[in-house]
Amino acid sequence: MINKIKIGIIICDRYRRCAGGKCLRAMKNKEGAFSRYKNKEIELVGYTSCDGCPGGNIEYAGDEMVKNGAEVIHLATGLVVGYPPCSHIDTFKKFLEDRYRIEVIIGTHPIPEKYFTTHTSLGTWEDPQWASLLAPTMADEDVRQDYN
């Protein structure tokens, strides 16, 4: 029997005009951070931006998503692949988990190759703290190319 999981997605405001294509594709195909739901049906109950630094919409968005039944909130891949990566991502995660007692996952779709190449070249992700932030969305080169 397949269980259903209700999720919310919060994107970086730099991408506020994003139609969500990569996130929704990864959610449908259970790729990237959504691979954890291989045996579950996923229902999206909220999708919004953080409202820009320092995240003025995080409190409201979390509240609305939880009221809509969200069991998990995903902080979109754009928060780690944008340049510079979101400096508030840890604060967002801790706040949402503490305030709403909800699991927060960093990432949605697999990291596109163009971002992987740029951040590797710049050394952005060399600090060991990035390993856990990137793990849910890191993929092999073929998948990264597919998400370019």
What would the mean pLDDT of 123-139 be, rounded to a whole number? 93
Supply angle C-alpha 38, 42, 45, rounded to 5: 155
Does the structure show a pLDDT above 60 at 115?
Answer: yes
Non-local (6+) Cβ contacts of 24 within 8 A are 44
* Mean pLDDT computed over every residue of the chain: 95
What would the mean pLDDT of 105-134 be, rounded to a whole number? 95
What would the mean pLDDT of 62-90 be, rounded to a whole number? 96
Instruction: Write down all domains in the chain, each with its CATH number in brackets.
Output: 3-146 (3.40.50)
Does the structure show a pLDDT above 80 at 2?
Answer: no
What would the mean pLDDT of 5-13 be, rounded to a whole number? 97
Per-residue model confidence (pLDDT) at position 1: 47
37-64: pLDDT as tens digits: 999 999 999 999 999 999 999 999 999 9
Cα(75)–Cα(93) distance, rounded to whole angstroms?
8
Cα(128)–Cα(73) distance, rounded to whole angstroms?
24
What would the mean pLDDT of 77-90 be, rounded to a whole number? 95
